[in-house]
């Protein structure tokens, strides 16, 4: 069989695309300043958090080492940036290694990522976690020795990853790291671990003996305000664009970035994408709106397509409930019932408790909002609202499934409209099937 490409990409075609992109990018002088991974040479605000971090770190000089510093706060609140910035600027005192654990699926994977920061090849899981900790001890000693230092700071960014391993115990891993700290001390080498996470509650699942050994040195990053974000944006926009960006544009981006989570990354992305979408000479409010829509769609797709089986069905359950509910809110119990009804028959449903946890995780992704409502004597309950239309989210859960759900609803709505004319509402339930049959809906 001969395959024919639908369109041919000629040299001239490629040139045309490049010219178009060149024109699009002509508004940027240095786009890297709008990159979410860019490490700025100076930090706007966050003085309190820098002081708190330094207070813990500087006590190294007095021979006092905090075993673990927990840094936490919402996404885009500047945690990774500030910790890196501080660590980069204390090289007179300590060596530091920065491991981002996001890609790890298991505790063993986390250990390998840490080792790779020290230039070590990955170990096999058959080697066991003890071996990885032994190798890490050796790497730390060697690094300190070669730099003529006594203090090591090990940053574990996106530390929540160790809690996603359901088979291995994160407490054991932390226990081993804390034991490693103690062993190094006997050689007059001092290790301090900084954990960075979105969720302050994740650590509560650790065993009490570990929590007490970790101490409670915490640094909290509150979400940015609109003013904070507009300052960050102004600073970056000056370097990133060839022309001055109007103040109202910066303010508008800051407003969107601060509206839900006080997220500086989101605001920077917004400005960058608006720059890419604009006519190459000027960014307008309309460009920001289009950029916002594009980013939301991209984010939505990323969250839903990367979700686990149960999470995906949970999202599906919320969409399904909200399709029938004009209030826009659906309660945990209703979501749980729906979730159980839509998962495959041969799959065991997760417990109500676990589903409540997954809903909190979903909230952290920015897909849903929650509110607590009082149910009188029945106590308090939580309700959820999608931040996107169910028609936008549903197809990502499963295109065919969603089409079926929507067409079923359409049939029901049509039948309702007919019944409204024929029968009082109280006698309706039993009549759907006969109506479907009679009118061929």
**Angle CA 26–32–37, to nearest 5:** 150
| Binding segment (CB under 6 A) for ligand ATP, from list 264-272, 294-302, 412-420, 431-439 | 264-272
The dihedral over CA atoms of 78, 82, 83, 87, expressed in degrees to the nearest 10, equals 160
Closest approach of Cβ 68 to ligand ATP, in Å?
A: 18
- Considering only residues 47 to 76 of the shown chain, the ones binding ligand ATP according to CB under 6 A are 73, 75-76
Quote the distance between the C-alpha of residue 28 and its chain's center. 28
**Token pair listed for 189:** 């080498």
Among 27, 33, 46, 133, binds ligand ATP (CB under 6 A): 46
Closest approach of Cβ 341 to ligand ATP, in Å?
A: 34
Complex with ligand ATP: residue 263 or 383, whichever CB lies closer: 263
User: What are the two backbone dihedrals, phi and then psi, of residue 187, each rounded to the nearest 5 degrees?
Assistant: -100, 15
**Token pair listed for 209:** 């003996």
Closest approach of Cβ 79 to Mg ion, in Å?
A: 5
Q: Could you give the 3-state DSSP secondary structure of residue 5?
A: coil
Residues 151 and 188 sit within 8 Å (Cβ to Cβ): no
Burial of 181 (0-12, 13-18, 19+ CB in 10 A): buried
Among 24, 28, 31, 38, binds ligand ATP (CB under 6 A): 38
β-strand partners of 154:
97, 193
**Residue from 107, 216, 219, 110 nearest 168 by CA:** 107
Complex with Mg ion: residue 69 or 315, whichever CB lies closer: 69
Complex with Mg ion: residue 159 or 241, whichever CB lies closer: 159
Ordered alpha helix ranges (H), 167-284: 170-185, 208-214, 226-240, 247-259, 264-277
**Is 100 a residue that touches ligand ATP (CB under 6 A)?**
no
**Token pair listed for 324:** 């029938």
Complex with ligand ATP: residue 265 or 313, whichever CB lies closer: 265
Complex with ligand ATP: residue 160 or 383, whichever CB lies closer: 160
b/e burial code for range 362-400 (CB count within 10 A of at least 16 → b): beebbbbeeeeeeeeeeeeebbbebbbebebbbbbbbee
Q: Could you give the 3-state DSSP secondary structure of residue 192?
A: strand
Closest approach of Cβ 157 to ligand ATP, in Å?
A: 7
Question: How many residues comprise the chain?
Answer: 441
Query: Site mask, Mg ion, residues 410-439, x = CB under 5 A?
Result: ------------------------------
| Binding segment (CB under 6 A) for ligand ATP, from list 44-52, 305-313, 362-370, 382-390 | 44-52
**Is 106 a residue that touches ligand ATP (CB under 6 A)?**
no
Look at strands 151-157 and 368-374 and give their pairing.
unpaired
| Binding segment (CB under 5 A) for Mg ion, from list 73-81, 88-96, 113-121, 219-227 | 73-81
**Is 40 a residue that touches ligand ATP (CB under 6 A)?**
yes
| Binding segment (CB under 5 A) for Mg ion, from list 17-25, 72-80, 266-274, 334-342 | 72-80
Closest approach of Cβ 45 to ligand ATP, in Å?
A: 5
Among 24, 28, 31, 43, binds ligand ATP (CB under 6 A): 43
Among 27, 33, 44, 133, binds ligand ATP (CB under 6 A): 44
Among 80, 112, 292, 311, binds Mg ion (CB under 5 A): 80
State the DSSP code for 28. B
**Is 232 a residue that touches ligand ATP (CB under 6 A)?**
yes
User: What are the two backbone dihedrals, phi and then psi, of residue 379, each rounded to the nearest 5 degrees?
Assistant: 85, -155
Residues in the interface with Mg ion (CB under 5 A) total 1
> Which single residue brings its beta carbon nearest to ligand ATP?
78
Alpha-carbon span 255 to 12, nearest angstrom:
42
Closest approach of Cβ 371 to Mg ion, in Å?
A: 27
Alpha-carbon span 89 to 415, nearest angstrom:
69
**Residue from 309, 431, 319 nearest 367 by CA:** 319
- Considering only residues 284 to 313 of the shown chain, the ones binding ligand ATP according to CB under 6 A are none
**Is 78 a residue that touches ligand ATP (CB under 6 A)?**
yes
Residues in the interface with ligand ATP (CB under 6 A) total 20
β-strand partners of 297:
none
Out of Mg ion, ligand ATP, none, what residue 264 binds, judged by CB under 5 to 8 A for its kind, is ligand ATP
State the DSSP code for 95. E
**Is 405 a residue that touches ligand ATP (CB under 6 A)?**
no
Binding site for Mg ion (CB under 5 A): 80
Binding site for ligand ATP (CB under 6 A): 36, 38, 40, 43-46, 73, 75-81, 198, 232, 264-265, 268
């Amino acid at each position: 069989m001969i395959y024919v490409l639908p369109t041919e990409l000629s040299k001239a075609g490629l040139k045309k695309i490049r010219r178009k992109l060149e024109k699009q990018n002509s508004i940027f002088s240095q786009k890297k300043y709008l990159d979410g991974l860019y490490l700025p040479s100076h930090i706007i605000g966050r003085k309190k958090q820098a002081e708190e971090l330094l207070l813990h770190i500087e006590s190294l000089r007095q021979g006092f080492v905090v075993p673990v510093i927990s840094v936490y706060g919402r996404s885009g609140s500047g945690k990774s940036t500030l910790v890196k910035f501080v660590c980069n600027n204390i090289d007179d005192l300590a060596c530091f290694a920065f491991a981002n654990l996001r890609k790890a699926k298991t505790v063993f994977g986390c250990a390998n990522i840490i080792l790779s920061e020290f230039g070590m090849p990955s170990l096999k899981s058959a080697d066991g976690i003890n071996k990885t900790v032994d190798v890490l001890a050796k790497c730390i000693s060697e690094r300190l020795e070669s730099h003529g230092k006594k203090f090591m700071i090990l940053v574990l960014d996106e530390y929540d990853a160790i809690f996603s391993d359901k088979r291995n115990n994160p407490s054991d891993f932390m226990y081993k790291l804390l034991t490693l700290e103690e062993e190094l001390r006997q050689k007059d080498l001092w290790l301090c671990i900084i954990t960075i996470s979105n969720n302050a509650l994740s650590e509560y699942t650790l065993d009490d003996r570990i929590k007490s050994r970790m101490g409670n040195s915490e640094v909290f990053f509150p979400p940015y305000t609109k003013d904070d974000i507009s300052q960050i944006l102004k600073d970056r926009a000056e370097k990133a664009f060839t022309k001055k960006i109007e103040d109202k544009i910066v303010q508008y981006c800051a407003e969107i970035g601060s509206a839900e989570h006080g997220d500086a990354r989101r605001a920077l992305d917004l400005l960058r994408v608006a720059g890419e979408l604009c006519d190459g000479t000027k960014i307008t409010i309309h460009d920001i709106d289009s950029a916002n829509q594009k980013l939301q769609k991209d984010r939505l797709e990323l969250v839903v397509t990367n979700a686990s089986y149960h999470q995906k069905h949970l999202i599906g359950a919320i969409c399904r409930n909200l399709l029938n509910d004009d209030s826009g809110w659906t309660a945990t119990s209703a979501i749980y019932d729906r979730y159980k009804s839509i998962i495959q028959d041969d799959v065991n449903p997760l417990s109500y408790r676990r589903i409540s946890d997954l809903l909190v995780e979903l909230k952290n992704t920015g897909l849903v909002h929650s509110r607590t409502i009082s149910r009188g004597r029945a106590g308090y309950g939580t309700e959820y609202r999608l931040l996107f239309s169910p028609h936008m989210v549903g197809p990502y859960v499963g295109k065919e499934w969603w089409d079926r759900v929507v067409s079923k609803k359409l049939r029901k709505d049509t039948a309702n409209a007919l019944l409204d004319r024929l029968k009082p509402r109280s006698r309706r339930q039993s009549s759907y099937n006969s109506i479907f049959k009679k009118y061929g809906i």
